[in-house]
Amino acid sequence: MLALLSGCGLFSEKKTPPSPLPELQASLNVAAAWRLSIGSLRETFLQPALVENALYAASAGGAVLRIDPATGSQIWRTEVDAKISAGVGTDGFTVAVATPRGEVIALDADGRIRWRAQASSDVISPPLVGRGLVLVRSTDHQLSAFDADSGKRRWMFSRQLPPLTLRASTEMAFAGDNVLVGFPGGRLVAVALSNGAARWEAAVSEPKGTTEVERLADVLGPVVVADGQVCAASFQGRVMCASATTGSLSWAREMSAGGGVARDARAVYVVDSSSQLQALAVGGGASIWRNDQLKHRQLTTPLALPGAVLAGDLEGYVHFLSLAEGRLLARLRVDSSAIVARPMEFNGSAIVLTSDGTLALLTPQR
């Protein structure tokens, strides 16, 4: 049984009105270098993908695009003759999306459809492409590995699940010769790319409570791998960092996450389920700062740029905060619909996407 998420919001945020925009004396100038309409996302979780100087995006209506991230100009656009519910995944050679019926569609670097394959159920999380594989996690939480050239299924991985899970987009990450996958019940599993065997399993959190709703503890959003460490967060659970090689815990903090984590060399940034943005020390998880001025605004997974950390909200605003103390520096409205994708960095700027399909590059200038 699936509990539905509305955009980036969780149960309480459907009933609690968003905080009004706080007064702001901007100390950072932010401008949109370009905007491009790619087509509505229609309540899907369509995460763009950035590989070097190529940006890939998809619309719910069935369009896959390659865009020049420096100028916003469209390089190619392909219609895949199907609705798209998940994407985009790419390594620059293979571009993959998936459909509400569980069809996986792979294109080549020039936008030509290379193959179609079938996952075990519908897909809402972006495929992970690389190491010669297209890895797809379906809503029944089965992980399928397809050959990137032919579409032939190499292996499948599944594990026992709790009776109640969140219907939420969860991104995977490569770590050496493993793929790291977050599962319901607060589990993070390293799966061998060669054969789909589980190498290790770590507890992001342990389910608590007496009812199935109280025991929801799904890993949310992206898991981040950097400097030999993997960091992840779970709903009604914890934020944790562990060894990316063995899964041994480095540190953990109790927190109900509203999305995935971001990090830089100094801090791990996380949004909790009430949309408070927090910075925790990479070394031990100690609190550096917490900003509660954007509560219930359904913030996205944050992004740390060299000069600021940012997150988008349900009304199309992108908020920029100081890395050192979490003070609000600037905000810019992309359009009137929610920022739904995880912001991505390009040359010190941020690529964001709204539910109405406005893709934009936001450039901060001091």
Residue range 303-321: average pLDDT? 97
Burial class of residue 313 (count of CB atoms within 10 Å of its CB; 0-12, 13-18, 19+): buried
Q: Bridge partners of 353?
A: 359
Residues 6+ apart with CB under 8 A from 20: none
Residues of the chain above pLDDT 70, percent: 96
- Cα–Cα distance for residue pair 122/100, rounded to 1 Å: 5
When pLDDT is averaged across residues 122-130 and rounded to a whole number, the result is 96
Round the average pLDDT of the chain to a whole number and report it: 93
Kindly state the DSSP code that residue 354 receives in the 8-state scheme: B
| pLDDT band of 168, cuts 50, 70, 90 | confident
**Euclidean distance between the first and final Cα of the chain, in Å?**
49
Residues with Cβ within 8 Å of 83's Cβ and at least 6 positions away in sequence, in order, are 60, 61, 62, 99, 100
Residue 132 has pLDDT above 60, yes or no: yes
In this model, does residue 365 exceed pLDDT 90? Answer: no
What value does the mean pLDDT take over residues 129-141?
Answer: 95
d(CA 267, CA 278): 9
β-strands 187-192, 198-203 pairing: antiparallel
As a whole-number percent, the residues of the chain with pLDDT over 90 amount to 82
Res. 247: pLDDT tops 90: yes
Q: Closest Cα to residue 216, out of 207, 226, 227, 224?
A: 207
Give the pLDDT confidence score for residue 90 in this predicted structure. 98
Place 9 in a pLDDT band, splitting at 50, 70 and 90: very low
- Which residues, in sequence order, are CB contacts of 15 under 8 Å at separation 6+? none
Q: Is 11 helix (H, G, I), strand (E, B) or coil?
A: helix
Q: Peptide bond preceding 204: is omega within 30 degrees of 0, i.e. cis?
A: no
**pLDDT number for residue 150:** 98
Instruction: Give the distance, in angstroms, between the CA of residue 353 and the centroid of all CA atoms in the same chain.
Output: 12
15, pLDDT greater than 90:
no
In this prediction, residues 125-144 reach a mean pLDDT of 96
Residue 245: count other Cβ atoms within 10 Å of its Cβ.
Answer: 15
* Pairwise CA distance, residues 300 & 281, whole Å: 20
Angle at 36 between CA 34 and CA 42, to 5 degrees: 140
pLDDT for 8 beyond 50: no
Residue 67 has pLDDT above 90, yes or no: yes
User: What mean pLDDT is predicted for residues 82-90?
Assistant: 96
Please say if the pLDDT value at position 321 is more than 80. yes
User: What local confidence, expressed as pLDDT, does residue 10 receive?
Assistant: 46
DSSP-derived 3-state class of residue 22: coil
Q: What's the CA gap between 257 and 250, in Å, rounded?
A: 18
Residue 68: which pLDDT band, with cuts at 50, 70 and 90? very high
Query: Could you give the CA distance from residue 102 to residue 127 in angstroms, rounded to a whole number?
Result: 12
- Given this model, what pLDDT does residue 123 score? 95
Q: Is the pLDDT of residue 6 over 60?
A: no
Q: Can you list the domains of the chain with their CATH numbers?
A: 2-365 (2.130.10.10)
Task: Note whether 294 and 19 are within 8 A (CB).
Answer: yes
- Rounded Cα distance between 32 and 211, Å, is 46
Contact 88, 80 (CB under 8 A): no
∠ CA 362-365-366, rounded to 5°:
145
